[in-house]
Structure 1
Amino acid sequence: MTKPRRRHLAPLALAASLLALAAAPASADVPPPEPGWTLAFADDFTGAAGSGPSDEWIVDTGHSYPGGPANWGTGEVQNYTADPANLAQDGQGNLRITPQRDGSGGWTSARIETRRADFKAPEGGVLRLEARLQLPDVTGDRALGYWPAFWALGAPYRGNYWNWPGIGEFDVMENVNGQNTVHGVLHCDVAPGGSCDENNGIGGSRECPGETCQAGFHTYRFEWDRSGETEELRWYVDGEQFHSVPESRVSPQAWQNMTSHEGYFMLLNVAVGGAFPDGVAGFPTPTDATEPGHPMVVDYVAAYTK
């Protein structure tokens, strides 16, 4: 692949570029709660290089939950492992989730979920789920099948695995095939169809501000707001809102089903192949051109309430 020529920067432009880099370090502290907010959960991934995530997380393995839908219910092809080649802290304040391909063409990757499953907007308040991430730095044909995600599932899914989408799913950030696009999606009600248009869900998307989603870190945030007369769900990238779902858009029973249980657990993963990347590409992924070894880099994950 031909590399683009480097542009020669004028001194002022070079200084501005260096200043921008300094302002966006590869590892940033978990932001302290804003006035009125409380930090409910945080992981800054400051463990030793090569170590797995802390005990705050469950590491999912295999091709499904025991007794659950095959291929995690989405058709993805990878085998999830706890191997440091797929899942490890880097010693510099980040967690890396890295898809790999073995000599026979089989794919591996990693998926983790919080042990806590009680993340919920307090009555009359707001829940914020947030992560600072750099998506796998690979694009074009080499990225076909890459499917990184930061999301949350309703607690009743644990131990059942067949009550989706009624228990609710908040996709804070999804990205496929190395495109410079962040997707935020709500899944709820029944599938197929229902008031959440399953299996598509109610989604919104946009390009990442400034640097592409793959070239730099961006902050992805979801808010569940119960402070008004009616509830609302909102999605943000770098503080810019790009999607919302008001309570009125979903059937009253579906909204009740996904908001009345004990709460949600958060997940991070990089899938390979499956319905979403295949649907966007228009053909099965990954392909022979798909290149392994590009991690999603997770700086921090946090939950706040007010």
Structure 2
Amino acid sequence: MAFNKVVAVLTVGLAAVHGAVPTIPGFSLTWSDDFVGSANSLPNTGNWIIDTGTSYPGGPANWGTGEIQTYTSSVNNLRINGNGALQITAIKASSGSWTSARIESQRGDFMAQAGGKMRIQASLNLPVVGSNGIGYWPAFWTLGNAYRGNYWNWPAIGEFDIMENVNGINRVWGVMHCGVNPGGPCKETDGLVGSRECPNTACQGNFHTYTLEVDRTAELEAVRWFVDGILFWQVVETDLPADVWTQAVHSPHFILLNFPLA
């Protein structure tokens, strides 16, 4: 394949401080990846599944979103950078086709237990794309583990978009998907959406910490989204029918990182 240009690079560290997994008061660390490894190596396959192609086997085309790239396991698209971070690179070939990368956690049991609280957090440096950012869609998110092997039960299984960024805009979105599509209690296909600009410095070209918190400690359960510790969106239990909340929030999820083009 002839490469026209490297368009954009998403740099990821699953930690609040680049290259180091933080200690968060009140929480016990149950899983992490600091992406320490040799430069130009793939991420640890004990932790991650590397998705390839344009769909899951038997699943919706274009990953169900209309994205146009092909995911690969090439270090041109996915690599440890040797400095404690993972880089996902979207590349446009001379033919006009795109390649990029998508990984998902091997573990699919991330959930808050009854009476407990869970946080999923990563430090992300979004690509600087200037005026050429139309279609760029880097994301850090989760899906209900019941999606695996079925691939047609979205959005009932639940999806939490911890961080989405579109078109190179200095703004991040947090989204919850649930229920039925179209419409339903989560207003699909849009989902229940909150957003804000990154604090202090632009989202692009700087590390910011994105956090999802599922809180089942209070009588009124909640899902919350933070950037750099600042709460910018939440959905509470009474916003949704009880059965919908239970299926989306009380069920195990897996984690995804990807850089699609749409």
Instruction: Please say whether Structure 1 and Structure 2 have the same fold, judged by a TM-score greater than 0.5.
Output: yes
Counterpart amino acid of residue 61 in structure 2: A
Q: Is it true that 1:109 corresponds to 2:100 in the alignment?
A: yes
Q: Is the 8 A contact 1:27 1:92 kept in 2?
A: no
Q: SS at 2:137's partner residue?
A: strand
Q: Is it true that 1:202 corresponds to 2:206 in the alignment?
A: no
Q: What is the aligned partner in structure 1 of residue 253 from structure 2?
A: 264
Q: 2:20 aligns with which of 23, 26, 29?
A: 29
Q: 2:173 aligns with which of 143, 158, 183?
A: 183
Q: What is the aligned partner in structure 2 of residue 74 from structure 1?
A: 65
Q: CA RMSD in A?
A: 1.2
Q: Deviations over 1:213-267 (max 9, x none)?
A: 0021000001000000121000000000000000111111211222343x00000
Q: How far apart, CA to CA, are the structure 2 residues paired with 1:26 and 1:188?
A: 31
The size of the alignment, in residue pairs, is 246
Q: How far apart, CA to CA, are the structure 2 residues paired with 1:185 and 1:139?
A: 25
Q: How far apart, CA to CA, are the structure 1 residues paired with 2:17 and 2:125?
A: 9
Instruction: With the length of structure 1 as denominator, give the TM-score of the two structures.
Output: 0.79
Unaligned runs of 5+ in 1: 1-24, 274-306
Q: SS at 1:248's partner residue?
A: helix
Identity over aligned residues, as a percent?
A: 54
Q: What is the aligned partner in structure 2 of residue 211 from structure 1?
A: 201
Q: How far apart, CA to CA, are the structure 2 residues paired with 1:81 and 1:201?
A: 28
Counterpart amino acid of residue 223 in structure 2: L
Unaligned runs of 5+ in 2: 1-15
Aligned pairs for 1:234-245 within 5 A = 234-245=224-235
Q: SS at 2:153's partner residue?
A: coil
Counterpart amino acid of residue 207 in structure 2: F
Q: How far apart, CA to CA, are the structure 2 residues paired with 1:40 and 1:186?
A: 23
Counterpart amino acid of residue 253 in structure 2: Y
Q: SS at 2:206's partner residue?
A: coil
**Offset of 1:32 from its aligned partner?**
1.7
Q: What is the aligned partner in structure 1 of residue 7 from structure 2?
A: none
Q: Is the 8 A contact 1:139 1:177 kept in 2?
A: no
The structure with more helix, counted as a fraction of residues: 1
Q: What is the aligned partner in structure 2 of residue 42 from structure 1?
A: 32
Q: How far apart, CA to CA, are the structure 2 residues paired with 1:57 and 1:184?
A: 23
**Offset of 1:136 from its aligned partner?**
0.9
Q: SS at 1:172's partner residue?
A: strand
Q: How far apart, CA to CA, are the structure 1 residues paired with 2:136 and 2:30?
A: 31
Q: How far apart, CA to CA, are the structure 2 residues paired with 1:241 and 1:228?
A: 18
Q: How far apart, CA to CA, are the structure 1 residues paired with 2:198 and 2:129?
A: 15
Q: SS at 1:245's partner residue?
A: strand
Higher relative contact order (CA 8 A, sep 6+): 1
Q: Is the 8 A contact 1:166 1:190 kept in 2?
A: yes
**Offset of 1:28 from its aligned partner?**
3.3
Greater Rg by CA: 1
